[in-house]
Amino acid sequence: MELAEASIARAAGLNPKLNAFVTMTAELALAEARQAEDEIMRGAYRGPLHGIPIVHKDLYYTKGIRTTCSSKILADFVPDHDATTVAKLHAAGSVLLGKVQTHEFACGASTSSPHFGPCLNPWNTDHVPGGSSGGSGAAVAAGIAYMGTGSDTGGSIRIPAACCGVVGIKPTYGRVSKHGVFPMVWSLDHAGPLTRSVKDASICLDVMSGFDAKDESTVDLPAPGMRDYGDSLKGVKLGIPTEFYYENISADVEAALHAAMAKFRELGAEIVEVKMPMIHRAQGIAMAICLGELSAIHEEWIATRPQDYGPDVRLMLESGKDLPASAYLQAQRARHLVVQDYLDALSGVDALLTPTTPITAPRSGDFEGSLQLARLTMPTNLTGLPSLSMPCGFSPAGLPVNMQLIGRPFEEATILGIGHVYEQNTDWHTRHPAL
């Protein structure tokens, strides 16, 4: 109960500075916390999320609680059912603090809503929190919530994790149900958690995972868990792509990644170079798929309510309308080339080690900077591979830098285990913004 009360008080004190919340549910949180306290005292413990305050990205349907997608179009929409993941997290005993901001309909990396106002970065409120799951990233980094749900179509879990200095995992496509999560792009969307530590990410992912008859893309596999490497990564091989990932990145990001490589070597891991000759095609292929499906999802609204979209989202939707069907189909045919590129690169290593974003969090209003944020994350939406974003340093200006561990299909346990060993031997995840 005290934990919920502290989180509610912190949200009330900090949200005016961050604008992370669309809807706060303090009364519900207190009622759920009382129930959790009673159940735990009676010995009816539901697991490690029992009584833990969380937030949901405002794309996740919550029965009886409005789900706006940070848009004018759905400003008053109240679902009559929960998303599958919302129901699972509720069944695990979590306490809902409220619904938090997304970039409008998840269509951007800054979480700067023209309808609800911009969400701001807890490390420096002159900067964006990343997106599109910026509200979850900001709430977790600010110490308001212990976990926030996110969705990831081009990096929307991993980018705010990087900009806010927290942990975010995009699982393998099909690992987590997307039923009841408003779609951005059907074939690229993933759902997953943002948390304060790798272990917390593993716990939350286990709860969220599993087959769902309401989502035909899901697979019937056990929860991934986290591989136990002990305190050494001896025998682990990490691949460093010689193409794409380390090109055109800022000096701050490059320095942090090289320091992370040195730490991995110290922990016993072997660092090897891997070639990825097809990787430069990934972004063009992904954008053709993205624009095609996005415009189809919004076809009715963009025809009847174009004025109700923010200018950046409206531009994306109108661009998608002009995309030839042949370009979309050719992109879907070509994506297997990039998938094979990754599988070949991963065949001799346990994971790939890359930056999450090429730069640290841009300033609010820096449109060009925000456009850069998804460049290194979007390829694994195209391939569906699991990707973990976690802290590995800070810029001289005090902004977080995250690295990305990319694994083979359904091997989340491997990248989480590797990330956990690194995390236990560094202190990046223990640093918090001085709000």
- Give the Å distances, CA to CA, from 307 to 71, 106, 265, 277, 304: 12, 18, 54, 42, 9
Is residue 57 annotated as a catalytic residue, yes or no?
yes
Closest CA to 396 of 250, 234, 292, 204: 250
Which of 7, 112, 156, 202 does the annotation list as catalytic? 156
Is residue 178 annotated as a catalytic residue, yes or no?
no
Which of 132, 370, 387, 395 does the annotation list as catalytic? 132
Is residue 197 annotated as a catalytic residue, yes or no?
no
CA distance 294 to 291: 5
Which of 7, 57, 136, 395 does the annotation list as catalytic? 57
Q: Which residues are catalytic?
A: 57, 132, 156
